[in-house]
Structures are given as structure tokens and as C-alpha cells.
Amino acid sequence: MEELESIEVPWLDTSDPQKFVKNAAKFNQLMMKYRCAIREIRTKFEVLDDEFSVQYKRNPISFIKTRIKKPESIYRKLQKKGLEFTPENIQEQLHDVAGIRVVCSFVDDIYTVAGLLSDQDDVTVLEIRDYIKNPKPNGYRSYHMIVEIPVFFSEGKTPIKAEIQIRTIGMDFWATLEHQIRYKKGIEGMDGYEDISQELLRCAQTVIDMDSEMQNIKNMIGQFHDI
């Protein structure tokens, strides 16, 4: 990945020190707001998981990962949209600057925690993409939500958008390794790329079958109690 210094980012132009300091402060403040939004959403999921632990004697969430897009990634995404690198465009045009990945034990847990989050009166669901019921052609599966929540600061309430990805352990395992193999190793131009893609797709089907079997076993045991 290119270093930020090698990219011409007008908003972070260091030729004018005063302008640079002012713009850098704006950017840092905006990133702080996204970090706060992530903490708010993460807490919501952790509260739900704690409630399940006490009331149903199990945890539907295995773990949670969060991230904020790097400045160079934000810049490139705005460039593709033909937009300037401004705080207004970042907030209004990009929905995935703040990202939360929630990894669940079973497929039905995904829809349970997604539904419980959506029902909260301070969460606005802007978009849903269900790649579990409708997997991507490469085999990728996950449940994506774009949400907006209010975050309270000294200056008042600010609505912040975030992308939430909810998936099983198997889906996360496959997606993580598929990304490393396909994009980190630069295999697109090598001989046998189509064969590799087919193998990855076959592995995705194996994960689908495994998730289905584990869900069936969960249902058979009967000691787990759904809402």
C-alpha cells in the first residue's frame, strides 16, 4: 500500500503550514467522531451478548472487530466517486469509514443480533445487503448493514454512519484468507488464476455446508433457547 506522503491529497497539502494544521485538525476531529460511533455500536452488541449470557446461558457473539479507514483509503474512494477530499464529502458520501465486524457462532444468531440492533430506537438502518441468502459470485457471504446513530458531544448531537458486517466464524475464516490470497499475493495475473478461483469457491461451499450442519446440530440439541 502506498504511503500517504506519496499521494497528492489537496486537503493535506503541507506547502501552507497554517492551512495544513487547520485541515489536519478537522480531519482528526472527524476521525474522533467515527471512533466514538464505533464505541457506541460495539457497546450495543456487547450489552446484547451479556443479556444472552445471563438469560439464555450462551453467547451468540464470538468476537467483535472494529476499524477506521486510513486517510489514503478514504482519499482513493472519494477519487473514484469524482469527489474532493473534504470532511463534508467524507461524512455525506462514504458510509464505511467506521467499520464493525461481528462474528457469531451460528447463522440464526446473525439475524437475531441484527434484528435486535435494528429495533433500537436510536439506530437508523439505511441499507441492508444480505450476502448470506445471496452470496457474491466468488462465494463471499456476510450480512451487511449501513446504520446511522447519534453521538453526543459537547457541541451537541452528531449523526454518524457506520458499516456493520455480521457473519459466522466459518464465513469470517474464509473471507479473511480469501482476501489475503486473492488481493495480498497479487495472483490475478498469474497462470492458473481461474483454477484458484474455483478452489476458493469450492472452499466457500464447504463453509456453507459446515455452517448448515452446525446449525442443524444446535437445533437438535435443544438446550439452546432462542428468543
On the 0-12 / 13-18 / 19+ scale of CB atoms within 10 A, 141 is buried
State the pLDDT confidence band at 184, using cuts at 50, 70 and 90: low
pTM of the model: 0.85
Angle between helices 169-179 and 193-221 (to 10 degrees): 170
Q: What is d(CA 93, CA 176) in angstroms, rounded to the nearest whole number?
A: 26
pLDDT of residue 3: 37
Contact 126, 154 (CB under 8 A): no
Contact 15, 89 (CB under 8 A): no
Q: In this predicted structure, which of 25-39, 57-71, 186-200, 201-215 has the lowest mean pLDDT?
A: 186-200
What mean pLDDT do residues 182-203 have?
A: 79
Pairing, β 61-68 against β 98-104: antiparallel
Q: What is d(CA 77, CA 70) in angstroms, rounded to the nearest whole number?
A: 11
Contact 71, 12 (CB under 8 A): yes
pLDDT of residue 2: 37
State the pLDDT confidence band at 10, using cuts at 50, 70 and 90: low
Backbone angles phi, psi at 222, to 5 degrees: 80, -5
